[in-house]
């Protein structure tokens, strides 16, 4: 079984990523699938009835398209066709912070060790690291930094407010 990084550990990947929708028909009904948004939208009810379904978003897909289904999707993936295409970082934050998504948020595509720290800060908790790379090596990416100045998904209170708190101030509720 293929593997990925989930919650900062190497884990088996049960999910089949459907990039080409023609491929969908060949997948047994009990295999969990991640389908593209363009397939999800017209087939939503049938896919929900099937179960075991997640949706992946392309860089230019609007996460608002999943706003109504946030509670029903165990997995949302965001595609990074090239690691230098940073749109997915905003997509991740919007899913977590604006739409309140709490399920598995998976980064797929050109996912490499040197981007994991930032991706994690933007709300991703699963990483389908590119197949030619070593997962154990990629795990080291989480240790690049021990904090952020900014508001992040994993640490919503920015450093300047925590500095204040450490000086005897009060953390915001």
Partner 1 sequence: MYRYDQYDQRFVDERVAQFRDQTRRFLAGELTEDEFRPLRLQNGLYIQRYAPMLRIAVPYGLLSSTQLRTLAHIGRKYDRGYGHFTTRQNIQFNWPRLEDTPDILAELARVEMHAIQTSGNCIRNITSDHFAGVAGDELLDPRPYCELFRQWSTLHPEFAYLPRKFKIAVSGSTIDRAATLVHDIGVHAVRNDAGEVGFRVLVGGGLGRTPIVGHVIREFVPRAEVLNYFDAIMRVYNRFGRRDNMYKARIKILVKEMKLDVFREHVETEWERLQGGPATVTDAEIARLSTFFDAPAYVKLPGEDAGFRSAVADNRAFANWVKRNVFPHKVPGYAAVTLSLKKTGMPPGDATSNQMDAVADLADAYSFGELRVSHEQNLIFADVRQEALLALWGELKDLGFATPNIGLLTDIICCPGGDFCSLANAKSIPIAEAIQRRFDDLDYLYDLGDIALNISGCMNACGHHHVGNIGVLGVDKNGEEWYQVSIGGDQGMQASLGKVIGPSFAAKEMPDVVERLVDVYVERRHEDERFIDTVRRLGIDPFKERVYAAAH
Binding stretches for partner 1 (CB under 8 A): 59, 83-87, 89-91, 93-94, 98, 112, 114-115, 117-119, 121-122, 144-152, 156-161, 163-164, 169, 172
The answer to whether residues 133 and 150 touch, using CB atoms and an 8 Å cutoff, is: no
Q: Which residues make Cβ contacts (< 8 Å) with residue 48, sequence separation at least 6? A: 72
Least distance (Å) between residue 108 CB and partner 1: 16
CB 81 within 8 A of CB 102: no
Radius of gyration of the chain (CA): 17
Question: Between 86 and 103, whose beta carbon lies closer to partner 1?
Answer: 86
| Number of residues assigned to the chain | 173
How far, in Å, CA of 143 to CA of 139, rounded?
A: 8
Burial of 99 (0-12, 13-18, 19+ CB in 10 A): middle
Residue number, 41 or 150, with CB nearest to partner 1: 150
Closest separation in Å from C-beta 78 to partner 1: 12
Considering the complex, what minimum distance in angstroms separates the CB of residue 13 from partner 1? 23
**Closer residue to partner 1, CB minimum distance, 5 or 18:** 5
Chain centroid to CA 122: how far?
A: 9
In angstroms, give the least distance from the CB of 25 to partner 1: 33
Residue 30 or residue 147: which is nearer to partner 1 going by CB?
147
Q: Return the number of the residue (24 or 99) whose C-beta is nearest partner 1.
A: 99
Nearest distance in Å: CB 161, partner 1: 7
């Amino acid at each position: 079984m293929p593997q990925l990084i989930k919650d900062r550990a190497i884990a088996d990947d049960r999910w089949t990523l459907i990039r080409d929708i023609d491929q969908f028909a060949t997948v047994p009904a009990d295999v969990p699938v991640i389908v593209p948004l363009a397939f999800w939208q017209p087939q939503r009810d049938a896919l929900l009835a099937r179960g075991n379904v997640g949706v992946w978003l392309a860089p230019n897909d609007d996460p608002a398209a999943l706003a109504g289904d946030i509670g029903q999707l165990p997995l949302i993936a965001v595609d990074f066709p090239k690691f230098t295409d940073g749109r997915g970082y905003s997509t991740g934050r919007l899913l977590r912070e604006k739409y309140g998504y709490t399920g598995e948020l998976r980064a797929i595509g050109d996912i490499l060790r040197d981007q994991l720290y930032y991706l994690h800060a933007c709300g991703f908790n699963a990483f389908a690291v590119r197949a030619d790379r070593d997962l154990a090596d990629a795990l080291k990416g989480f240790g690049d930094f021990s904090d952020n100045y900014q508001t992040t998904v994993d640490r919503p209170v920015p450093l300047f407010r925590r500095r204040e708190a450490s000086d005897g101030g009060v953390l915001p509720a």
